[in-house]
Amino acid sequence: MSHSESHTPDSGDTKCAPTRALDVETIRAEFPILQRRIHGLPLVYLDNAATSQKPRSVIDALTRYYEQTNANVHRGVHTLSEEATAQYEGARAKVSTFINATCPKEVIWTRNASEALNVVAYSWGRANLKRGDHVLLTEMEHHSNIVPWQILAAERGIELDFVRVADDGTLMLDNLNKLLTSRTRLFGFTYMSNVVGTINPVKELTLAAHKVGALVLLDACQAVPHMPVDAQALDVDFLAFSGHKMLGPTGIGVLWGRRELLNAMPPFMGGGDMIREVHLSGFKSSELPWKFEAGTPAIAQAIGLGAAVDYLSQVGMDAIHQAERELTAYALQRLPEVKGLRILGPSADKRGGLVAFTLEAAHPHDIAAVLDNLGIAIRAGHHCAQPLHERFNIPASARASFYLYNTREEVDLLVKGLHKVVEMFTF
């Protein structure tokens, strides 16, 4: 297994070494949950855009922390506390290297990506936005990158606008120069849609935003687990992602930001560990990154995420991205065989490793229920992207999403299961 080069798919880098194919069977053996049987059948896990499964190395890292090192960080001089602090901050350094941050102090631990996005809205937004300022988002955003700005708009009178989505699931960028104006203070958008799978041209959008003096907030939840992501090469100002979608534990997320921006932002929450000193007359906050990390942090989760980064780095992000592209192309080839199936989103070369779809014969929740009886786990609903579903005039969709441990045989089982759904619901 090879360590991946640190670059992004749209970076223009054409000098990379050939990508080695994944040894999927070896990888699968390292994920204990994949040995489970559901309703007597082998588990086919195709809900990775919601959360990923965990390899043994991540599970062992969590167990090892609780069995051997459990202590609070930063506050003790005893051995356990010092060991816990070293592992906790070591995980931060691993994440920093993984996304090519300038330094670990730019990596802020949050509970999840939703909190990371909220930190930008509540801290940077409240400190910098006033009535009449303009924030641009897109129609394909997760609710976590819409609702905080709607809350702020109601409080401050800022204006929100949205880049619309074309019928093929790509952004309509013809009028981007009209949407980005001298009043635009921030452009927030997803690297990859969690519904239509579209991989957006991050560097192009970032350049357009910077030309008018706007900052860029990138939701990279569906990108960091699946492809090389280089924060410096992308040139964005803020980047958010979650640990549980990239083989790590739940309860840990990341906000990366430019150091000068983070230094100028007020603390997000008040409490222990985010202060330098406190008096009845006031307080002084700590330095980065701790001024944004009030209270006892998710220590075990951060250490687990560090182990996940080790695992992904060993496998190689280029290899993971290539394998998922091939598997998605295969799924897009097979799924139209199912009667009445409508695929949402663009062609395989423009999307990541997921496919959302509808069936004429059955509601997405019914699809998911029937597939579950066959041992197949998919997602059904609006995937926290209700405006995008409204754009396509549907209440919900079914979604199969892939990761490094999925196989063509599992796609075949999905297609076979969908044929059964159609048979069951066709009268």
Residues labelled catalytic: 384
Token pair in block for residue 15: 């000098």
From CA 25, how far away is CA 407, in angstroms rounded?
9
Tokens 């690297």 appear where?
A: 191
The number of residues in the chain equals 427
How many C-alpha atoms does 35 have within 13 Å on its Cβ side? Answer: 8
From CA 333, how far away is CA 402, in angstroms rounded?
15
Contacts of 260 (CB under 8 A, 6+ apart): none
In terms of Cβ atoms closer than 10 Å to its own Cβ (0-12, 13-18, 19+), residue 116 is buried
From CA 333, how far away is CA 329, in angstroms rounded?
6
Report CA-CA distances (Å) from 151 to 121, 128, 129, 137, 190.
9, 15, 13, 14, 19
Contacts of 324 (CB under 8 A, 6+ apart): 226, 352, 353, 402, 403, 404
| Helix (H) or strand (E) run with residue 216 in it | strand 215-219
Q: What are phi and psi of 294, to 5 degrees?
A: -70, 140
- The SS3 call for residue 152 is helix
Listed residue (371, 360, 399) closest to 383, CA to CA = 399
Contacts of 200 (CB under 8 A, 6+ apart): 138, 171, 189, 190, 191, 192, 193
Q: What are phi and psi of 374, to 5 degrees?
A: -100, 10
**Degrees, nearest 5: CA angle 365-198-302:** 80
From CA 36, how far away is CA 41, in angstroms rounded?
8
DSSP 124: I
Tokens 């040894």 appear where?
A: 23
**CB contact at 8 A, 101 and 107:** yes
- The SS3 call for residue 45 is strand
